[in-house]
Amino acid sequence: MTPALFNELVASIKGRTVERPNKADSGTLSGHAAGEPFEKLAYHLLKEKFPTKVFKQYEYLNELYLKNPKKISTADRYALFNSPVAMFLLIRGDKATRDWNPANIFEEKQDDTADILWHEGDNFDIIDVKTRNMSKKGMPPNIISAYKLAQACALMIDNQDFMSVDIHYLEVEWKEEDGFLRCSDANWKDLFKSNPASLYINWAAAMQIQFHVSELTQDFDGTREQWARAYITAFVKSAEARCDKMYKTYILPFKKYVLEEENGWIPL
């Protein structure tokens, strides 16, 4: 999607209201529960204007496999993607892909990479919708697995496949009003315009990159290959620091209690 289309989407969402999930019992809203109606709103606004380009991730896969009924093996279905990076980020697992058939189509999964998928020509734009309750000070949300992103960057470099996939984040800031959630502001950012070295990896939270979309820097002006290499460099540096910390905290203090095999103790 172009910056102009993202700006138009943001303008369409600002000020909109959606019905509060679990409105009847006024229960506590989780991040996912609050985000779902705004995600659906963004999807429908785009789908109405661009019905042949906008999909949910599972919709795209279902349509792709339905249009290619003779492609029934896992390898054949993976080969339907011209881009190794897009294939890696969008496919379901081997078993799910193998078991897919017209009577057993995919359904939406919370851990799909894309909340909304824009497909035009050879380009895939992965759009992830995040919401933020402005009445509370919450931790930044999980964005994407740092390891998964490192794998995607390695595939970009190995296959010289740098421009087939874009990744954008849409943040909807909201406040509760009389049983509704009102969008007070909205922002969008391009992951590949961020500074890779500034991305925070929470190793204790399944290696998730975490940030508030509105606070993501957009000052990287290098090529996509330079971004991929810079990210992998930052990822490896962070992983090495994590390993060093784990060793010093959880291994070194106890090393003196580990007896060697020649003393008759069972080795670790």
CATH of the domain at 133: 3.40.600.10
pLDDT at res. 262: 53
pLDDT tens readout for residues 129-170: 999 988 888 889 999 999 999 999 999 999 999 999 999 999
d(C-alpha 89, C-alpha 119), whole Å: 14
Domain assignment present for residue 262? The answer is no
Q: Which residues contact 188 (CB under 8 A, 6 or more apart)?
A: 6, 7, 9, 10, 168, 169, 170, 171, 213
Mean pLDDT calculated for residue range 41-55: 96
Tell me if 265 is assigned to some domain. Answer: no
**pLDDT, greater one: 237 or 136:** 237
Is position 113 within any domain?
yes
Q: Which domain holds residue 166?
A: 3-253
Q: What would the pLDDT profile of 201-215 be if each residue is shown by its tens digit?
A: 999 999 999 999 999
41 inside domain = yes
Per the structure, how many domains does the chain have? 1
Per-chain mean pLDDT for the chain: 92
pTM above 0.85, yes or no: yes
What SS3 class is residue 68? coil
Q: Which residues pair with 183 in a beta bridge?
A: 174
User: Would you say residue 260 lies in a domain?
Assistant: no
Q: Is 267 a member of any domain?
A: no
Please indicate, yes or no, if residue 261 is contained in any of the structural domains. no
Round to whole Å and give the CA distance between 91 and 112. 9
d(CA 194, CA 210): 13
Which pLDDT score, from 0 to 100, does residue 267 have? 54
Domain assignment present for 217 = yes
